[in-house]
Structure 1
């Protein structure tokens, strides 16, 4: 699954920035959770096209920055500057950093892809030094609920199975020394039609799921008609993205 995720996002490297309007807005809100200040060592998981990096730069500084992304094609060299900054191809679930080595940990729209969040998320947080800050956001259950319901009913397509908010909040509650706040926000987007909506997802690379189904014109037509009828909006059709924000510090 991880290899597929990397492949899908790498293929979307040239279209991601223009298509990722939800991710861009989410990144801006996540960046706002990082306190103004200087962080000697900053780490970003899922650096992608630099959407979050650019936003955090407006009010935070660092001496060293390491941006990780599992998809080589998503890493944009222009997102970093200076000898103290680097981008590397690496899985956030196997981040190449020691415990207590970072002063800031940030991540946006990435950790929903974790295979073992109960293990990996605490490991990520343990990279923080005492007093280190973190600001994370990820998509949770309820994201693309319209797509999931229509796919289930028509047999066309599938949606990534995402954990519920409670899983992540319980993980952080159980992690010793972590002070954390959280909130959940729904972002609703409108698209001209079902085809435009699916194309937008494709351009962001967020199309890798464990439940892919064989394409057929009949199933597609059933999907299109049902989606456009059931989830019609003033300007076409709607889609909902549910985002969990987690922010705080290691005591």
Structure 2
């Protein structure tokens, strides 16, 4: 799984910033939740090209920042924007840093890519020091609901098997239940055509699924036709639904 996820994101380093529309919306909303303007030690998970990093830099000041991402190419792009910051190319499921030193641990649109989410998130919280603040946004089941429906009809457009909000709530509620705040938001973005959406989605690199990628040309044609027939609105736009969970809390 991780090798394919890494390969897709590595290949998107030239196109990610101009196509990550939903990721920008999510990052802005998450940044708005951060409560303080100074944290001595900052850990950002899933830096990508630095979209959320830029919002962090505008929002807070700090003594030390560490950013981690699986994609070397995207991380190199982030480094070119923020040369003064420390970045590590690593897998979040196997973090190479001492979690206990950080005052804030955050990441936008990243935890859904964990291979061992229950174990990794639990260790993050367990190993953090008392008072550490956490801020995350996560893609949930319900994202690409239109595409998932059409996949069952056409065999084209498989989607990644995302978790529901209760899966994540159960993990965080194991630690100081009263300290966690959850906010679920659904977003719908509209595109002029199915082809436009698919091309833009591909350019973000966020396209790993557990299914084999090969499908017939006819499956693709049927997918595009049915998407428009079933979902196109009165303005001749096609909708794409995203379901997001925002999590914030203190250990």
Give TM-score, length-normalised by structure 1. Answer: 0.95
Cα distance, 1:55–1:77 mapped onto 2, change above 3 Å: same
Q: Structure 2 unaligned runs (5+)? A: none
Paired residues for 1:63-82 under 5 Å: 63-75=63-75, 76-82=78-84
Which position in structure 2 is the counterpart of 1:236? Answer: 237
Q: Which moved more, 1:207-216 or 1:237-246?
A: 207-216
Shift, 1:145, TM fit: 0.5
Is the partner of 2:183 in helix, strand or coil?
strand
Following TM superposition, by how much is the alpha carbon of 1:80 offset from its aligned partner in structure 2, in angstroms?
A: 2.3
State the Cα distance separating 1:139 from its structure 2 match. 0.2
Q: CA RMSD in A?
A: 1.4
Alpha carbons 2:155, 2:215 under 8 Å: kept? no
Which structure 2 residues correspond to residues 158-177 of structure 1 after superposition, within 5 A?
Answer: 158-176=158-176
Provide the C-alpha distance between the structure 2 equivalents of 1:185 and 1:47, rounded to a whole number of angstroms: 22
Which whole-Å deviations, capped at 9, do the CAs of 1:49-84 have from their partners, x for residues lacking one?
Answer: 1111111222211111111000111112134243xx
The 3 A distance-change label for structure 1 pair 149 and 100 is: same
Give 1:232 deviation, angstroms: 0.4
CA distance in 2 between counterparts of 1:246 and 1:44 reads 14
- Does residue 184 of the first structure (1) align with residue 184 of the second (2)? yes
Q: Aligned residue pairs: how many?
A: 248
Identify unmatched segments of 5+ residues in structure 1. none
Aligned residue for 1:247? 248
How far does residue 177 in structure 1 lie from its aligned partner after superposition? 7.7
Contact 1:102–1:127 (CA under 8 A) maintained in structure 2? no
Alignment of 1:1-251 (within 5 A): 1-75=1-75, 76-82=78-84, 85-176=85-176, 179-233=179-233, 234-250=235-251
